[in-house]
Amino acid sequence: MATAVVIVLRTTDDILRWAGRLVDPPLRTAIGRLPEPSRAVAELQLGWHLGDAVSAASLRSALTLVCADAVGGDPHAAVPGAVAVELMHHWSAIRRDLVEERPDGTAWSIVGPEPASLGGEALLALAYDVIATGDPTHARRSGPPAATAWNDAALDAGPPPHRPGHGTDTAQRSGRAGEPSGRPRLAGPGAPLPGGARRGGSLPGDAGRGAAGSGGSLPGDARGGAAGPRQRSGQAGPDRAMLRILGDTVQELLHGQHASLALRDNRSDSAGEERTDLLRDCLAMVEQRTGALFGCACALGAVAGGGDPAQVERLRVFGVRLGLAVQFTEDLLEIWGGGGVGADLRRRRRSLPVAAAVAAGADELTALFDSRAQLSEADVERAAKTIEQSGALDWCRRQADELLSQALLTLDLASPSPAAIAELVALARRATATPR
């Protein structure tokens, strides 16, 4: 019997550098189209003020490109989707930083919350523009905006002649100089955003026995792929399937932001039901934020590659589960790994390990988080030890492993591009690696 051998020709570093070469130039061009001061906020958020060597491409945009390849398409066709994913991520990150009041170099801590929020909205609008046009680099119309050009022409023409019986010149004008009464109202885009709000639901299995319990499946019907066949290049109008995916994801991210606000303001209760609810709510929030964003990245790539509805949905679910596994991993690293050990604990962020420890009955941790006093280094170390002793550290590791396994099981080994599937596996394993 013949044995099929899949050879991975690129390392994960190679894939990420390749994604950077494809995504960074059009992303920089798209950001450059923003008017000031929104452009300055975007460049701060992406770290470009630190130098040209900073790449904005990430695991998310790499997944978009490789998913296009995985369904037999051209990864170059997925570049607009990858750019849109990065823009949407940074919009969401600005909102997250504002909600969680993250200091230390975040955009809002430099320019203030209101300008940062407006800059974030500009990024989101730009993401829709990129998907609608299919071209991140398309230029604005030359010359000034229409309203400015109209006003300039009116000023050059001078005031309207005074007509006896029609009142004074002042009465014929509106309240601003150079703006005659009866000025035409310039219509904006006005088109409603696609996609309705959809509650993501919770992870399979109840919180008491683990988020990734056996026998369940992540909620969500076929969203991107089921919207109909995608439009090929040369067809007029935006790609409706990709707009629908983007719209649904924005709704989920907003729902996750609402959940984050509730978690931030939550005061822990000693009742077991309240403890379980905290963990369940935390899991739902992660699915609506990180899970939704990764699912969007993969689905947009599959649609751009010409995947059928089943392929799009399979890769979307892969992304959702991978996103959840990645969030477990990142939350663990925020407490026990890297240079910022205990960063989440100092902010009293109710991350997955914290919620799991509270659910396990870590009353000392509950008291620390509910206190108003600033946490000392000794408090942070004691909180980390309490989480570990509660069993939450091991539980979170198991959930990350289980979710990664579930993600990999959704991949279609009969894909038109087995090498691309192997690259998705390699990227997923790298993104969820933690010190043991």
Q: Give the closest residue to 224 by CA, choosing from 287, 291, 306, 289.
A: 306
Q: What is the average pLDDT across 198-211?
A: 37
Integer CA distances (angstroms), 11 to 18, 126, 150, in order? 11, 32, 55
Q: Judge contact between 13 and 79, C-beta under 8 A.
A: no
Q: What is the pTM of this model?
A: 0.75
C-alpha to C-alpha distance for 411 and 425, rounded to whole angstroms: 9
Return the CATH number at 362.
1.10.600.10
Written as six digits, the tokens of 321 are: 């589960």
- Chain-centroid distance of CA 428 in Å reads 17
- Kindly state whether residue 279 falls inside one of the protein's structural domains: yes
User: For 3-37, what is each residue's pLDDT tens digit?
Assistant: 555 555 799 999 999 999 999 999 999 999 898 88
Lowest mean pLDDT among 137-151, 285-299, 318-332, 411-425: 137-151
- Rounded mean pLDDT, 246-257: 92
**Token pair recorded at residue 66:** 């490789």
pLDDT of residue 131: 94
Burial state string for 110-144 with b = 16 or more CB within 10 A and e = fewer than 16: ebeeebbbebbebbbbbbbbbbbebebbeeeeeee
**Total structural domains within the chain:** 1
Instruction: Please spell the DSSP secondary structure of 298-345, one letter per residue.
Output: HHHHHHHTT--HHHHHHHHHHHHHHHHHHHHHHHHHHHHSSSSTTHHH
CA 191, CA 52: separation in Å to the nearest integer? 36
The answer to whether position 152 is within a domain reads no
Q: Is residue 83 part of a domain?
A: yes
Q: Is residue 2 part of a domain?
A: no
Is residue 42 included in any domain, yes or no? yes
- pLDDT for the residue 171: 39
Encoded tokens for 71: 């369904």
In a domain, 41, yes or no: yes
Domain that holds residue 197: 12-135+191-207+220-227+236-429
Q: Give domain status of residue 300, yes or no.
A: yes
Round to whole Å and give the CA distance between 362 and 369. 11
Both tokens of residue 302?
């599959």
Predicted confidence (pLDDT) per residue in 345-376, tens digit: 888 888 999 999 999 988 888 888 888 788 88
What is residue 51's predicted lDDT score, i.e. its pLDDT? 63
Q: What is the pLDDT of residue 222?
A: 38
160 falls within a domain: no
